[in-house]
Chain A
């Protein structure tokens, strides 16, 4: 089936750019290696003091609505997928849901709404759920969105990294952002979601944990990065792509672009190499990335890239795109679509 499409995409990026060099200078204990060289990340965006996950998501939703044929009061579902659930500063909100606050703020009062949490697979997970709601005829359209204040993790890491083997280095690669996508059931020859598939491999559930720090105010992320970027885990990306392509009758050659999860330049290269080696192809679809400029923006990362490439006319109309999802859990997933 090919009956749901990305109708519009919205993005919000905070204005402040912070270089990796400036971050390293702020570390209480220097890293002992060249962080920018190892990650390839030069800058990331950092929210201002009056921004939070809620405002980032809301600004992205408003941006999305300006590009949509729908008015806010016509939106029938709102699914918020933020990992960081900050509102009113750094309050991590449990109830009422962020999705309720957002739908009331934009005026989508009759929409179905809930929040989901699935680490960096959140947006994929939300698109999957909304695609199913539309296909089942429950709603005609909906909004999936996320605002992420990852810089809160960075602030903790700057204080707590105490040597080159710290489990908080991944917190220095992240950036803040908001994205929103509207899906509807109007497809044509040039656009439509082929499939969204993901699977969770719980063997690795404890290898990346996000929770409040026990040493300072604020939140922290503790990651076994070397294990999670090892071939033990990375091998599942091409294997799962292979499974999905076979299931839906597609080949790697059908794709014009691949958007990997935006973790670090070196990790992206490793993921792409794993796919190329697995499928034994000389030429890969064009790899789209913006991790050098925006860092790892967690749930939003694929859509930050997609939005910017569309705005820069880097993606030609009717192209087929494959998003490779790799998230804590471990969650492995694929979103395949034409746009």
Chain B
């Protein structure tokens, strides 16, 4: 029994600058790839960070739900839970853990996790370090076999170094708050995040009993906030199979969508095989790292 990835979808059209449009397009792609009736979806979680016009109410997830036309009105038989869950590029894994626990405790069986990041102004802005992209992942409960996510682990650093600070100063920009954003990335962020990520994966493998396992039987997918991030992490960890090396080179920093796009690309390219054991590793500001084993 376990929570499995039924399908994924992406939105990579570089001419789109709205996070809601990217998330919606990725969701439509994902639903089409899953081949399901959209009204079967029980839960919609948005894990994107930067919102069109810095909107803070309602949840972005419910705006996507409206665009998708899922359970827009009330019926006694079908309910849909939509909300936003935020933790940088690690949101996908925290949301997957949340979904896994809900599946285990209820009769809900399908969850759509969406993500996208664009500059709040809906324009390309040079100082914004993230690529305008979106991704979606449909999770499903599978009670017939031993597939799915196993043992999520999360770690954070203590307060002295967060690596990235992003915020909208609601007073500093006068009436231009809807189009304003500040992102500060520490010079040492990438190096320290690589070290933190490696340590997190090694600890995970130790606690999951994978340290003596055949490394060739394990694949690794990571978030890729910088050019050499994936290479540096995989070399340090000693896992030789890392099927989506070039996500940063191809797309830049896809931030909250990075890990989902890495999986989507690897799967689309035939690099994810039946019975593969995949370690998903997400890391970002905090420092924060999430690690989980997935039995495909």
Contact = CB atoms under 8 A, between A and B. Distances in A.
Interface in A41-88: 83-87
A138 B53 contact: no
Contact of A198 (B81, B91, B98, B172): B81
A200 B62 contact: yes
B87 interface: yes
A239 B56 contact: no
A224 interface: no
A91 to B, nearest CB: 4
Nearest to B73: A203
What size tier do the contact residues of chain A reach?
A: 35 or more
Contacts of B97: 112, 133, 138
B83 interface: yes
Contact of B62 (A90, A103, A202): A202
B164 to A, nearest CB: 5
Given A94-B86, A100-B288, A104-B159, A211 B56 contact: yes
Interface string B233-268: 000000000000000000000000000000000000
Contact of A117 (B50, B86, B104, B175): B86
Contact of A91 (B82, B104, B162, B169): B169
A157 B173 CA distance: 18
A132 B59 contact: no
Contacts of A121: 83
B86 A114 contact: yes
Q: Which of A138, A236, A239 has its CB near the most chain B CB atoms (within 10 A)?
A: A138
B140 interface: no
A306 interface: no
Contacts, number: 223
Contacts of A100: 156, 162, 286, 288
Given A118-B59, A118-B83, A216 B175 contact: yes
Given A84-B56, A94-B50, A202 B66 contact: yes
B206 interface: no
Nearest to B170: A90
Interface of B: prevailing SS: mixed
Interface string A133-164: 10110100000000000001000000000000
Contact of A209 (B57, B80, B158, B174): B57
Given A208-B58, A221-B57, A113 B87 contact: yes
A328 B167 CA distance: 23
A93 B184 CA distance: 12
Q: Which of B86, B162, B165, B286 has its CB near the most chain A CB atoms (within 10 A)?
A: B86
Nearest to A97: B87
Contact of A212 (B66, B83, B154, B178): B178
Interface of A: prevailing SS: mixed
Contact of B284 (A95, A208, A219, A236): A95
A33 interface: no
Contact of B175 (A92, A116, A214): A214
A95 B164 contact: yes
Q: Which of A92, A93, A206, A210 has its CB near the most chain B CB atoms (within 10 A)?
A: A92
A213 B57 contact: no
B166 interface: yes
Interface of B: 49-50, 53-63, 65-66, 70-74, 76, 79-88, 91, 94, 97-98, 100-102, 104-106, 152, 154, 156, 158-159, 162, 164-175, 177-178, 180, 284-286, 288
7 contacts: A118-B82, A132-B105, A200-B81, A202-B72, A213-B177, A215-B175, A243-B76
